[in-house]
Structure 1
Amino acid sequence: MASEGNEHIDIQETVEIPADAAAKGGSLTVEESLEIVLKKALVNDGLVRGAKESIKALDRKDAELCVLCETTEEAGIVALVEALCNEHKIRLIKVSDSKKLGEMAGLCKIDREGNPRKVVGASVVVIRKWGEESAARTTLLEHFGSQ
């Protein structure tokens, strides 16, 4: 009996990681680098999404990079995340749109054409493990080194 209606979806089919622009001769912007790094961390099980879990990871010093949405409605979350990052010397980068952060962190459905649908906003995302070495990661680390 064939399994009708049950489809096996491979993770590599649903998560498209763009090719590094540096390999093509171009340079990556910080936003493009952040998107690539977040997707690679998601695939390698190194991404923590959501305020509660992210704050736990920051408090345990189990974080390489924290991405915070500037437009978070809870001012206490913003203050707590900034304080934990400063105290534990964890890199912090801020983005302006929670929906874009949610899309970069994989909090959405991808339709057949590859477009994101039903995007859920994210206030805080933490990278615990980078995943593999890439030009995007190098670009982000250079960005933090120049500040």
Structure 2
Amino acid sequence: MDINTALPLVIRKSKAHSGLARGLHEAAKAIEKHNAHLCVIADDCDQPDYVKLVKALCADHNVKMLRAPSAKALGEWAGLCKIDSEGKARKVVGCSCVVVKDYGEQHEAVEVVQQHKD
């Protein structure tokens, strides 16, 4: 299992266990309260101040930071979409930042993400 398949799985499992903070406001609160295990930010985030703030918070609180390919992909992984009858994501809302507060259960994907060097 590589990081590209493990990261979406970890985010989905975290959401299922109510351990996910989505968006800048929720992410900043989780990081500052020392509840964050992992921060994921979208590569296509076009707000330099947003990226700078998230990086600074992660550095100050020793939170591991990873990159997602796009805000749409991150939004889909975080559950910010509707699922149609065929199981495909529709009306996906982009999300620039997600913080994992609780991994849920320990599984192989969590270990892959924790071992990954950014």
Equivalent residue for 1:110, pick from 80, 83, 100 = 83
Deviation, structure 1 residue 70: 2.1
TM-score normalised per structure 2: 0.95
* 1:54 maps onto 2:46 in alignment: no
Counterparts of 1:113 and 1:96 in 2: how far apart (Å)?
Answer: 24
Counterparts of 1:58 and 1:70 in 2: how far apart (Å)?
Answer: 20
Report which structure shows greater RCO (CA 8 Å, sep ≥6): 2
Equivalence for 1:126: 99
Counterparts of 2:115 and 2:35 in 1: how far apart (Å)?
Answer: 21
Q: CA RMSD in A?
A: 1.1
Equivalent residue for 1:81, pick from 51, 54, 59 = 54
Deviation, structure 1 residue 85: 0.6
Equivalence for 1:8: none
Structure 1: 5+ residue stretches without partners: 1-27
Cα deviations across residues 69-123 of structure 1 (Å, max 9, x unaligned)? 1221221110010011111110000123100010011110111111000000001
Same amino acid, percent of matched pairs:
39
* 1:100 maps onto 2:105 in alignment: no
Counterparts of 1:31 and 1:48 in 2: how far apart (Å)?
Answer: 20
Counterparts of 2:58 and 2:83 in 1: how far apart (Å)?
Answer: 32
Cα deviations across residues 46-65 of structure 1 (Å, max 9, x unaligned)? 00111111111112221000
Counterparts of 2:64 and 2:100 in 1: how far apart (Å)?
Answer: 10
Equivalence for 2:17: 44
How many residues in Structure 1 have an aligned counterpart in Structure 2? 118
The runs of at least 4 aligned residues of structure 1 exceeding 2 Å deviation read: none
Which structure is larger by alpha-carbon Rg, 1 or 2? Answer: 1
Structure 2: 5+ residue stretches without partners: none
